[in-house]
Amino acid sequence: MGLRWYHFALWGAFIVGLALLPELVSKGTLRTIIFANYLAIFAISWDVLSGRTGYISFGHPFLIGIGAYTTAILTKRFGVPVEVSIPIAVLTTMAGGLIVLLPALRVKGSYFAMITLAFMELIYQLVQVVRPDLTGGTRGMSGVPTLTRGAVNGFYLSAFLMVSVALTMWLLMRTRLGTALSAVGMNEESVRGSGLSATRLKMVAFLLSAAIAGLGGAFYIHYLGTIAPRALFEINFAFTIIVAALIGGASTIIGPVIGAFFLTFLLEYLRPYLPGAERYLIYGGVALLLYMYQPRGIYEVIRQGWARVRGLA
């Protein structure tokens, strides 16, 4: 896998730094970091499906929503303990991942992007119409059991999840599987030529992505304590996830994490200066300019900057 000493050092520093954060920053900042952690998980999940294989999904909230709704309904309506409901949510989301896989077997590119958008719209409509007694209909549900209380506990749980997901995916992507997945994104035909099954690789990517989305979605909803269709199946939510992954740097692990933190903090830190609608304008504008400047993301900007510094030295 080509692990080096500095890999361990960087990951170690990252984890220690996260563990120390509650001593260093205010509770309000911790709350913002919690949202950034969950967004990072979603962005990593999106990146596995779309960033690696090139099948751009505009309907990623479809998967996250399946996980979130499954565990919310099980715990809130049927009193199922979270130890049981979260694994079920992950499995259900993986089944959802197979649904997204179906069109990917036949169409690619923009067609696939559009059909995922249709999936999200479909589930958005269905959640409100079918069995509102279970889903809470348009208003959703409040009072979903929460796992933690307080900013510090919520932070540790979300940081643990985020680091686990990031580290697992980082290791996984350094195996031959990761290389093969990226090859699907580069050129599907050549993958076939080299004797690998592109379909099976796509299935692995979609299932992995769905598992992470389900896990993240389930814990996210047990953190929020509330679930609303308008908050989940929204083009704006899809937008945030995609932009986080891309602005950080697709096809990397640290990229989506950087992107998620950047977007979340950008929006939150504008609040005191621009309380109203200007905030979203500046937020979107910065994202657009940054993305146009370097479509490969902040990771690439840092990498090139670092290379230049080393070149000078």
Non-local (6+) Cβ contacts of 113 within 8 A are 56, 57, 58
- Identify any residues that bridge with 142 across adjacent strands, giving them in sequence order: 226
Range 75-104, binding another protein (CB under 8 A) = 102-103
Among 3, 98, 122, 186, binds another protein (CB under 8 A): 122
d(CA 101, CA 95): 10
Range 12-51, binding another protein (CB under 8 A) = 13-14, 17, 21, 24-32, 35
d(CA 206, CA 234): 21
Among 197, 288, 305, 308, binds another protein (CB under 8 A): 288
d(CA 259, CA 300): 12
Find the part of the chain contacting another protein (CB under 8 A) among 73-81, 171-179, 194-202, 284-292: 284-292
Among 4, 83, 195, 292, binds another protein (CB under 8 A): 292
| Beta carbon of residue 73, minimum distance to another protein (angstroms, whole number) | 15
d(CA 215, CA 212): 5
Burial group, residue 141, by CB count within 10 angstroms (0-12, 13-18, 19+): buried
Range 140-169, binding another protein (CB under 8 A) = 140-144, 146, 149-151
Among 12, 19, 95, 109, binds another protein (CB under 8 A): 109
- Give the helix/strand (H/E) hosting 247: helix 235-248
Find the part of the chain contacting another protein (CB under 8 A) among 75-83, 123-131, 166-174, 202-210: 123-131
**Contact string (CB under 8 A) for another protein, positions 187-226, x = contact:** -------------------------------------xxx
Structure tokens given for 89: 């949510």
| Residue 309 interacts with another protein (CB under 8 A): yes or no | no
d(CA 201, CA 207): 10
Range 260-279, binding another protein (CB under 8 A) = 261-262, 265, 268-269, 271, 275-279
